[in-house]
Amino acid sequence: MSGTLILVRHGQSEWNLKNLFTGWRDPGLTEKGHEEAKAAGRKLKAQGLAFDVAFTSVLSRAQVTLDHILDETGQTGLETIRDQALNERDYGDLSGLNKDDARAKWGEEQVHIWRRSYDTPPPGGESLRDTGARVWPYYMAEILPRVLRGETVLVAAHGNSLRSLVMALDRLSGEEIVKVEIGTGVPIVYRLNSDSTVASKEILEG
């Protein structure tokens, strides 16, 4: 085996609560979101995991989630790398809209296609495939080499940027990955082999 890769989606955001398309907009966490992030830190501490480096997006909800995890695990001051390659999928013209209002404007079926298809982007935005096209090269160049050196690497990011990583790690198809839900504040712990394949995967729920 090589190293360990931990993926954590940010805690509930204010716009998650309000049922708004968020994308690259930058709302903060709700009170529940802060608690979810702290709970993620406690779960990781209980596993005895100590990180060598953390990666996150340039959006505050992911950064604050990371801060809570590092605080709970006693690892504040850890080397942290922020990059927009790990940002949430860009929802383009849908960003900031209530999902019900979007359905009223464009129709239930069209909004469902934008949300749940693999390769159909909303107007002015990204599809999940587009999101993967920026996440995967960054993972290969910056994150994976550190895991393969035997490091324990934490990534605090977003539902769709993490979906892209899970798709690659679990070798899922486009049809399969759109059905995968990644819970807010739920750590996913991968242990990788030296050839970058997955040796084990554990989701720290409950």
Phi, psi of 70 (to 5 degrees): -65, -35
**Whole-angstrom distance, CA of residue 185 vs CA of residue 44:** 11
- Pairing, β 152-157 against β 188-192: unpaired
88 is catalytic: yes
Catalytic residue (choose from 10, 36, 72, 126): 10
Q: Residue 8 in contact with residue 155, Cβ under 8 Å?
A: yes
Tokens linked to 113: 């296609």
Single out the catalytic residue among 36, 72, 88, 126.
88
Identity of residue 187: P
- Indicate if 10 belongs to the active site: yes
CA distances from residue 169 to 97, 99, 130, 136, 177 in whole angstroms, order as listed: 32, 30, 17, 10, 11
Residues annotated as part of the active site: 10, 88
